[in-house]
Structure 1
Amino acid sequence: MANETNPILANIFEQPAELHRVLDDLCGPHLDKVREICALMQSYDRVVLTSMGSALYSLMPMYEALVDDGWRNVELVETATLIHHPERVHHDTLYILMSRSGESREVADFAAWLDAHGHEAACVTMTPASTMATHCAHVLHDVASYDKIVCIKAYSSMALCGLFIAHMAGRTEPDATLVSALHGALDWMEANKRAILARLEEVPFLSATDCFYLISRDEGVNMARSASLWIEETAKVGANVMTADNFYHGPMELVRAQGITRTRTTPVLIDVCPDERSRMIWGYVNDAAPDSLYFGFDDSARAGARFTFPELGLDGPWMMLVEAIYFQLLSYQVALAHGVEPGMFFEDGWVVK
């Protein structure tokens, strides 16, 4: 029986209800603020999305959605890079920052620097009185409640805010069909969250895993990056990320060599944009390492444990909201399998001291 009082698991399980609340807020009280930021985006030659840590990963679905919608003047950049290279910061660019606390060192410092140098900036935050927010002219408040420890709900709620901004760019009203599909997806998450965890509890080889190798394509690679963060942060187990195609050009040897090395690598496929080549690569992976994890839409895919995503009528970047709960729960279960208390952290060095 899962310990639902554990702060990590409690926050994972609270996600669907919190996302319903955030979506209702974006469609209602804060819709004008979303429109304001969208108008700004269209008035600039270039848009840079920037943050650090979990919030950087929360920006990835927004980035993917904008690219899918044809935006070719948008970039996703770590804030530390912009701090170290101020010559890359330009007045023809709108900077959109994201941070749960608004006090993470880099985003707080960069927002202050932008303000001091006359750059216009917008931000998404759960803390509208934060250092970051006070230095941004346009602030979208994410109304979700704070996580007990690190960004679990906050990953998804801020990702939803970013996706909604991307959706509203170029339109005046939210698409009612999309909003309905999102509420339906959140209902599905609420109804199935414990069943997903129960399936993960049945995976027999998690305790023997020394590291994970997550492979995918397109927006699945950014989903894998988020999954890697949760596994490493919560379970203290390494998790590499690569496209499935590039994985075949060398790192595949990690899996093939398991009979002669001490490291037990568990391959994980997030099956986005499948074709004959990706199926061939995954077939070779399973020949070498049958203790594998599959996440995707193919209910006949080879794997040591297969998790089939539901068809919910959402495009790839939006499905990342649903996919996230699988990998957050995976990180929780891997921690337990390795004797680590989920939510145990040595420091909170990402917060301003």
Structure 2
Amino acid sequence: MTELLKDILGQPAQFKKALAYHQGNQYSEIKKASDAIGKASQVLIIGIGASYTAGISIMHALKKHEVFCSLIDASELENMEIFPPNSIAMILSRSGKSIEIVKSADICKRHKIPTIAITNDTQSPLAQNVDIVVSAAVKFDHAVSISTYSSLILVGGLITTFKEYGKHMADIIQRLIGACDYIEKYQLEWQKRIELSIMKQEALPVFFLGRSESYASARAGRLLWAEVAKSQSSCFATGNFRHGPQEMLSKKCKIVIWLSDHYSLNNDIKLISDMIRVGTDVSVITSQKQIGPDVDTYIVPAVPEEFQAAFNCTPVQMMAEALSRKLGVDCDSFVFCNFIVTSEAGIQ
């Protein structure tokens, strides 16, 4: 078993650990971050790599709760000339040591912007240089971000929902723990199915499609294909895919699509039907019932949409790991990228 697969299978337990941590300290870190956001006119979400991808889900969650926000790649922050007044920055980083992330905290301080960090290392340079630190409270993954990616979404969801649901957080926590139990129950079955499916596949162009809360998962799929399988892929918002990129559809194309519980469900089911009709290999990840008897469907637990992307990325994590073994590449090691990028020059 690869170290990556161990991290994937251990993800539900890490989620429970994070939830227990925040429940145990009476959500003190969560409340402090939530209160600070409530006083700001805009939230600048800052991340890079997997953390930037997690920011897509957090941005969707904040907007759902009527918080104006922007998502900024940390490597582009220093090129911003205008910082909106009364803003607050939410900086996402598993290590808190990446060079662009450390510089982001400095830039925000220089512009007198209050800062919140969601990070796994509460003693990191980032954590030491922000106003509020919220722990992701999971152990570090072996290499590729698994729990350290999805826990940012989990904790970001807690911060986003706290103001509205603070008195009912115990109920939300229990629902999330139930979702962890569900993943633990079905993940070995998914892994066996994926193993058989991947080993039968040819080397195909792969497209990841997601909408709203699941667009982050589509972006995560593309990143996993690069980091884990060392292979090419593309990702699109599902609606955007229909404006040109669908010309790539053929029998030599693989689509992984997430269905949203809340947005354009029937339209996307029709899209799936049409893609299968033209011979495309389609896998569907959804919390809805089985889409059809002949559709490769992975049913994930239904949770509030602020948390959905933390749970519905598990099947594609397994797909990337299985593909790496088929292609004979080492998913447990980086070839050109350091575990923590501390320089802005070169490929290592």
Give your verdict on TM over 0.5: yes
Query: Within 5 A, what are the aligned runs for 1:109-124?
Result: 109-124=103-118
Distance 2:325 2:217 in 1: 22
Offset at 1:322?
A: 1.8
Query: Within 5 A, what are the aligned runs for 1:25-174?
Result: 25-29=21-25, 31-71=27-67, 73-85=68-80, 87-170=81-164, 172-174=166-168
Q: Which residue of 1 aligns with 2:209?
A: 215
Picking from 283, 286, 293, the partner of 2:283 is: 293
Picking from 297, 303, 312, the partner of 1:306 is: 297
Q: Which residue of 1 aligns with 2:346?
A: none
Q: Which residue of 1 aligns with 2:273?
A: 283
SS in 1 for 2:341: coil
Q: Against the structure 1 CA distance between its residues 119 and 285, is the aligned structure 2 distance closer, same or farther, given a 3 Å change threshold?
A: same
Distance 1:168 1:280 in 2: 36
Distance 1:43 1:184 in 2: 33
Does the alignment pair 1:325 with 2:321? no
Distance 2:299 2:129 in 1: 44
Q: Is the 8 A contact 2:249 2:280 kept in 1?
A: no
SS in 2 for 1:267: strand
Q: Which residue of 1 aligns with 2:178?
A: 184
Does the alignment pair 1:20 with 2:16? yes
Task: State the AA in 2 paired with 1:96.
Answer: M
Offset at 1:47?
A: 0.9
Q: How many residues align?
A: 339
Q: Which residue of 2 aligns with 1:261?
A: none
Residue by residue over 1:182-231, the C-alpha shift from the partner in whole angstroms, topping out at 9 and shown as x without a partner, is: 11111111222211101101215664133211123222222211121112
Q: Against the structure 1 CA distance between its residues 206 and 352, is the aligned structure 2 distance closer, same or farther, given a 3 Å change threshold?
A: farther
Q: Which residue of 2 aligns with 1:203?
A: 197
Offset at 1:125?
A: 0.9
Q: Percent identity, aligned pairs only?
A: 19
Q: TM-score, normalised by structure 1?
A: 0.89
Distance 2:113 2:308 in 1: 34
Picking from 305, 323, 327, the partner of 1:316 is: 305
Task: State the AA in 1 paired with 2:298.
Answer: F
CA RMSD of aligned residues (A): 2.1
Does the alignment pair 1:11 with 2:2? no
Does the alignment pair 1:271 with 2:259? yes
Residue by residue over 1:113-134, the C-alpha shift from the partner in whole angstroms, topping out at 9 and shown as x without a partner, is: 2224432111111112211111
SS in 1 for 2:306: helix
Offset at 1:91?
A: 4.1
Offset at 1:49?
A: 1.1
SS in 2 for 1:317: coil
Task: State the AA in 2 paired with 1:306.
Answer: T
Picking from 311, 314, 339, the partner of 2:328 is: 339
Structure 2 residue runs without a partner (length 5+)? 344-348
SS in 2 for 1:241: strand
